[in-house]
Structure 1
Amino acid sequence: MRRRTVLVVLWLIGNVLVFWAVALTASGYSLEGYLPWESSKVFTYSPVLHSKPGDKPTEILYMVGRNGELYYYIVWRDEYFSNSLIDKLYRLMRGLIYGTSEDVEVFGVVPENSSFYFQTYGHSSVHGKILPDGSCLWSERGLTIPNCTVNGTHVKLYVVTWNHMLSLLPENDTVQVFPEMRHMTPEDYVALGMVKRTKYSIAGIAFNSLTASLVVTVLLNIILFVLLRRWLLLRRGRKNLRSRLLFRREV
């Protein structure tokens, strides 16, 4: 009885571990940054943020990708829309979808080629490149933004919308902010709803990381069930064969 209880507990723990391991991996979480030599460039390329007074980010969580790319997750306590009714409805919707009302904006840098990425008005993508003279090329607009970096590596970013979209172009009434920066832990990643925010498509069907994780976990359990059943049948067959052999000997 105790043995069965232990096996059930181990099975449950294994399911939890598999589910979250797949969810984190599918959504892009990386453990690479825990190694000192892999995170050595994090503070060299961290963005210089400018936000509205009274609406400053609480922290920046960084992560190092498998190919050396750097990701900075800029976290705000919330988003505030000018209309109070819409603001409350929007906050409720985000809480239901992501499990948190915190807002997260991502700034990515590839030190190898000095390219970077973030989102601006309407969640449209900005792909840029840090040029040798400290200016930035905004690829989508074909613009070169002068003096857009500090020390030629720290890109200056300006909050330009109520929901914290960013821009390379200076915004009036913004001030430089200095949020704490630390490594993104798996707990942070889950708590901020990053596994729910990540979406991709397979054969035209949209999935998020939790859906993929659920499918993998269920399939793994089906495979384990089939293997266990086959093992039990083989074991039963061997017992029956031994019983027959013993019966023949006795006869």
Structure 2
Amino acid sequence: MTHFPIRPFPAIRCSIRPATLLRAQISADSTSRISSDETSTAQLLLGGAKATSIASAVWKGIVRPGDTVVDATCGNGIDTLLLARLVSPGSLLGRVYGFDIQKEALERTSLLLEQHLTPEQRNRVELFHHCHSKMGEVLKDVRARLVVYNLGYLPHGDKELITRAPTTIQSLHCSLDLLQPGGLVSVICYVGHPGGQEEYEAVKEFASLLPPSEWICTHLEQLHRPLAPHLILLAKKVTQSTLEKVENDCSSFS
């Protein structure tokens, strides 16, 4: 499937702010998002919601209008559609990059987007007929707030075509490079199909080896349902060195 070329982003104006103000901004943003979403997330947990529903609730607490996000496994396009609505709810338009190795998946995704998005929103979504392991090559200069994975096979598709541990781990390395401080990588792993358990174990090991000084890695599973999907979240910390780098970058625009 032919993909749209990546259009350059407009120039960004940046004013210099002290690290204390930057930290306060981050803290305020985080507090407001958490306070508005913690109740609904708790209700999802107590109600036995699926991993996909819990993941979506987490995304809503992370993504802001105008953000850039990546759907590494478009599938039927449900996640891609939600992400497009989150980053482009009104006049402030963000951007969504979507990947899938199956042409059928991209066709389903494109149809869903055209049915439910405005033309302006749809134009901010670019779909790529590539394996997610190629993400780093395609999105060289992109910095994303969120990267999401819904692993396994295409629902209502060929169950023999599945995501596999080697390319998924390669893609996760790319995601860490793309992710901006304060961003999140969300991975839903399925263990009920051949190859799924091995892929899940590889993702879990990958997350467990990330340095805790830079990452917060969490794992949600239903202990009494061994074949239920697993949700693994990799959150990139905002460190003092990050704040200093932002100030230095901003000063170059002054």
TM-score class normalised by the smaller sequence: under 0.3
Higher share of residues assigned helix: 2
Greater C-alpha radius of gyration = 1
TM-score by length of 2: 0.20
Higher share of residues assigned strand: 1
TM-score by length of 1: 0.21
